[in-house]
Copies of this chain bind each other. A is one copy, B any other.
């Protein structure tokens, strides 16, 4: 089990990422053999030595990075040795089983999709996140990889989300809900209605449409939406949580309220949960928040390790093999 780490992507890279790597090596139970660090070799060596790390992981040297504001395709084309490209190459070459990256999300999705390819039979990658609700953590996908999916893509997201819920959150037979603007069949856009019919006809544990106000109500363990809606939902929850924490700090008894709020807000704090998982590609790819600090690295590494050791991608392929016949083959 080995994980490639993009040390150059993200608002606080490379120092915060490397600080996080040092924590993972010193106290997180990770050995140097389990990591490959992609980034500026001398800087990494010096930094980790200063952090007291003597047994250094393999380093793949580069100083190129695709910045957050760059267009993914342009960045990937003009910077063949970008840190994210080299992370993907490391996985493709079999020198790592997965990667973590805190940089440009679009570039990570594009590099992983093109470089690793899709799992057999999977049409499109999807970004899956976990959010805390009344019933514990649930999976929401797609959070932005595919804004205009076909019904078949939504079917495959359901199946991948269920595998993730099982493998990473320990849910036995995860319920799958389709995010929609009404509870009854026949609601929503043409694509959503078609996805509903496919899911309803399948043997997956589909519970039907779920409205936005029911997201936190323990109605399902997996919520499926197109990448536009999923991204909007995730970001609105994040922004709302931040707004509340901010407002609470200004109220009387502010810090007490803020602390209670923070305890409830797994959603707002990616550092606790590692980040978003890119499902469907042939490798384990974790996309951390660009704003991540050092404390986000260890949870990210643990999430990737858990997915690798559980055999998440293997389970996705198995699930597709048993449910694939239920999908109309549109594209």
Contacts and interface: CB of A to CB of B under 8 A. Distances in A.
Interface of A: 133-134, 144, 147-148, 179, 181, 188-189, 211-217, 225, 227-229, 231-244, 246-248, 251-253, 256-257, 260-261, 263-264
B243 A240 contact: no
25 contacts: A133-B243, A134-B247, A147-B181, A147-B188, A188-B228, A189-B228, A211-B235, A212-B232, A212-B235, A214-B239, A215-B236, A215-B239, A216-B243, A217-B243, A225-B232, A229-B229, A233-B233, A244-B261, A247-B264, A248-B260, A248-B261, A248-B264, A252-B260, A253-B260, A256-B257
A237 B229 CA distance: 14
Given A248-B261, A253-B256, A257-B260, 14 more contacts: A134-B247, A181-B228, A181-B232, A189-B228, A212-B232, A212-B234, A215-B240, A216-B239, A216-B242, A216-B243, A232-B232, A233-B236, A244-B244, A251-B263
A232 to B, nearest CB: 4
Contacts of A241: 240
B212 A134 contact: no
6 closest Cβ pairs, A-B complex? A212-B235, A213-B239, A216-B243, A213-B235, A212-B236, A181-B231
A320 to B, nearest CB: 27
A229 B260 CA distance: 30
A242 B213 contact: yes
B212 A231 contact: yes
A205 to B, nearest CB: 22
Contact of A233 (B232, B251, B261): B232
Contact of A236 (B148, B213, B247, B256): B213
B243 A189 contact: no
A216 B246 CA distance: 11
Contacts of A237: 236, 240
A264 B213 CA distance: 18
A252 B253 CA distance: 13
Contact of A261 (B134, B211, B232, B257): B257
A237 B243 CA distance: 12
Nearest to A233: B236
Given A231-B181, A231-B212, A232-B229, A251 B260 contact: yes
A233 B248 CA distance: 22
A243 to B, nearest CB: 4
Contacts of A248: 260-261, 264
A243 B212 contact: no
Contact of A227 (B181, B228, B242): B181
A66 to B, nearest CB: 15
A247 B211 CA distance: 20
Nearest to A179: B232
